[in-house]
Structure 1
Amino acid sequence: MLFSQDELAGLPDKFRWGQSAISHILSKFENEAGPRTAFPCVFARNTVKRGNLRFLLIPYEPKNSRYELGLLASGLRTYIDQINIDTLDVNHNRSLLVLFEPVVTLTTTDQFKHIFIEAMQFLLDEDQRPWPSLVSKDPAHRTWTMCFHGCELFVNVSHPAHVLRRSRNMGAGLAFIINPRKIFDIAAPANQQGSAITAKIRQNIDTYDDVAHSGLLGSYVLGEAQWQQYMIPDNNEDAPLECPLHFK
């Protein structure tokens, strides 16, 4: 179910869990009195203030012991159809938060890794449009980024097993923060101004989190790997997640 930031009331029973999940996320942006309470990404804070967040709720099916990933594919198509890649504007960007229903038996990093990989592979398998010609299908290549419905994407994975990285913990369930990848080229371009913006956000992360920002974070326009940035470890010692995705 895809809806905007001001459409929280009256959710159907199947999605009722989303109200508390979204309320918790929005509460992370309410208190900005000090460096430890202000969410580190200024662009995210501005998106919330302007009411531009979009939410996509993914229920869990107990009978099948899996999430309804069909809703992920259909909701993401709708989201992409609603944005114009050619006229992206940082001040009007609509980030998409994909929230997976919390399940008491799903609590570990390995479980969330499995769901994340399953979700990304499902999108590749269900994609009805050609892969963008300028984007490699090799995740190790400098031009690779996740794509769906003809759109280049950046996927930020947050989950409750992140303890040190508070900025990558959005509550009791798995969450994907999805943006059109090109918005980052606009927000932090490959010039002196862009470098300053990136440095400031990483400095904010160092203050907000209980561990220094990950060395895996990088810039697409500088040819730095994207996949490793999606789901980073909770510390700076563990190896990055390897990409098992494959194309049809």
Structure 2
Amino acid sequence: MAELTSKVWLDEHLNDLPNWQQDAFRQFGSMIADADNKYPCIPGRHGFLTNNLRFGFANDPRDEQAISEVSQLLKEYGGCARDTGKYASLVIFFKTPEEMLNDFRVADYEQLFWSVLSRVSAKDETPWPEAISTDPSHHSWEFCFDGQPYFAFCSTPSHEARKSRMSPHFLIAFQPRFVFEEINDSTPFGRNMKKLIRQKLVEYDGIPAHPSLKWYGQEDNHEWKQYFLRDDESVPSKCPFTYMKNKFKSLGIKFHK
């Protein structure tokens, strides 16, 4: 059974967890709270240091058990996210077997990431929010679960050029949409925050920021393109996530090619 935890809890009980979970959390903490303050996501760093973040651990992401665990964690998190602080996020670490560490490349993790989101969505019993399109090509689209919209962020062991998207264990973070209520293009604070983050991102990665990084809601923006960034500037020709197909599949309805 997957359990939602906090930094405070993990700091006290980490040694009681399996070795891979200990390693995942310690390396994440070392990355996001580095002494030189280089990590580019300022809200994420602040959220970690102030105990706003929540954490969960899931099995091998290829297994159905992991999908059930992610669904369970998201459902629990949706009910408490606003109580955790304005820099809230749910970070889920996945057990990443040696065969994946040795054989998987960025493209393999990309396919796996979208597979996880699609399979998790198929378990969602709550209607999609009316204000958010189910079509990823629409600028209002955002991944939703249990009625809550999230920005999904993936990092993998195979990323090299974009260090900001590299983690020793396969990782997906879900940022609630309310986190961006002040961090957007309509406020001086948001515009300044974007400028600082973009500057730190370029310094951290050592390469230009990906062209897909834009504001939510812009008519030329597609959120899904930001969820999984490749090491280069390429993007898939279309979003691999399709909401309605997942829903029909969960009902046993087959689609013809």
TM-score of the superposition, structure 2-length normalised?
0.84
* Aligned counterpart, 1:162: 159
Are 2:122 and 1:125 aligned? yes
Measure how far apart 1:66 and its partner are. Answer: 6.0
Deviations 1:188-218 (A, max 9, x none): 3423442222122111100011321111001
* Aligned counterpart, 1:52: 52
Deviations 1:59-97 (A, max 9, x none): 128xx866521001011100111123xx8953xx33111
TM-score of the superposition, structure 1-length normalised?
0.86
- Map residues 35-114 of structure 1 onto 2, 5 A cutoff: 38-60=38-60, 68-84=66-82, 90=86, 93-106=87-100, 107-114=104-111
* Structure that is richer in helix per residue: 2
- Contact 1:232 1:241 (C-alpha < 8 Å) held by counterparts: no
Aligned partner of 1:82: which letter? C
Cα distance between partner residues in 1 of 2:110 and 2:73 = 21
- Contact 1:228 1:241 (C-alpha < 8 Å) held by counterparts: no
Cα distance between partner residues in 1 of 2:52 and 2:121 = 27
Measure how far apart 1:7 and its partner are. Answer: 2.4
Cα distance between partner residues in 2 of 1:209 and 1:244 = 26
Cα distance between partner residues in 2 of 1:239 and 1:222 = 18
* Aligned counterpart, 2:175: 179
Structure 2 SS opposite 1:215: coil
RMSD in angstroms over aligned alpha carbons? 2.2
Aligned residues: 236
Measure how far apart 1:228 and its partner are. Answer: 0.3
Measure how far apart 1:16 and its partner are. Answer: 4.0
Are 2:29 and 1:32 aligned? no
Cα distance between partner residues in 2 of 1:221 and 1:65 = 34
Cα distance between partner residues in 1 of 2:8 and 2:199 = 31
Aligned partner of 1:56: which letter? G
Measure how far apart 1:163 and its partner are. Answer: 0.5
- Contact 1:155 1:230 (C-alpha < 8 Å) held by counterparts: yes
Structure 1 residue ranges without an equivalent (≥5): none
- Contact 2:151 2:227 (C-alpha < 8 Å) held by counterparts: yes
Deviations 1:19-71 (A, max 9, x none): 111000101134333xxx5101111111111122211111128xx86652100
Deviations 1:102-143 (A, max 9, x none): 211213112212221111111221111110001111100011
Cα distance between partner residues in 2 of 1:127 and 1:32 = 40
Measure how far apart 1:11 and its partner are. Answer: 6.9
Change (3 A) 1:185 1:67: same
Bigger Cα displacement from structure 2, 143-152 vs 49-58? 49-58
Measure how far apart 1:221 and its partner are. Answer: 3.2
Change (3 A) 1:104 1:66: farther
Say which of 213, 233, 243 aligns to 1:217.
213
Cα distance between partner residues in 2 of 1:65 and 1:88 = 30
* Aligned counterpart, 2:143: 146
Moved over 6 A (4+): none
Are 2:23 and 1:20 aligned? yes
Aligned partner of 1:80: which letter? G
- Contact 2:162 2:205 (C-alpha < 8 Å) held by counterparts: yes
Cα distance between partner residues in 1 of 2:34 and 2:107 = 32
Cα distance between partner residues in 1 of 2:158 and 2:14 = 30
